[in-house]
């Protein structure tokens, strides 16, 4: 009546040794690898973010320099226009042609000291 069990039928119903349940805490090697991986991902994201910021600031600096050149050019044009409007030849021409003025005679000139 004794029958031998094959490997697939080999079952242990009980044993004298205590079976320890699996621990919920992961192995230290796996925990270290996970923390290292998270750190590397964080450093990589920070590096990419900083490069994007550098590129964006470069574009802003370029735009500001274009605006500065445009403002300098406008300033030069305005100074030229002011010099043209202040010229004595223009003022004399407007006085004679448009305002019908004439040059004063020497006795009409009063010198104030």
Kindly give the residue spans of alpha helices, DSSP state H, lying in the chain. Answer: 28-86, 88-97
pLDDT computed for residue 55 by the predictor:
98
Residues in CB range of 68: below 8 A, 6 or more apart: none
pLDDT computed for residue 28 by the predictor:
77
The pLDDT tens digits for 20-66 are 666 665 577 888 999 999 999 999 999 999 999 999 999 999 999 99
Domain extent listing, the chain? 30-103
């Amino acid at each position: 009546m004794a029958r031998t069990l094959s490997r697939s039928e080999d079952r242990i119903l009980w044993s004298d040794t205590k079976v320890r349940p699996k621990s919920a805490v992961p192995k230290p090697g796996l925990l270290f690898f996970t923390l290292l991986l998270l750190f590397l991902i964080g450093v990589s994201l920070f590096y990419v973010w900083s490069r994007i910021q550098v590129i964006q600031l470069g574009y802003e600096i370029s735009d500001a320099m274009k605006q500065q050149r445009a403002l300098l050019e406008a300033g030069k044009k305005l100074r030229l226009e002011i010099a043209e409007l202040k010229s004595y030849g223009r003022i004399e021409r407007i006085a004679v042609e448009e305002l019908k003025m004439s040059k004063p005679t020497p006795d009409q000139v009063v010198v104030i000291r």
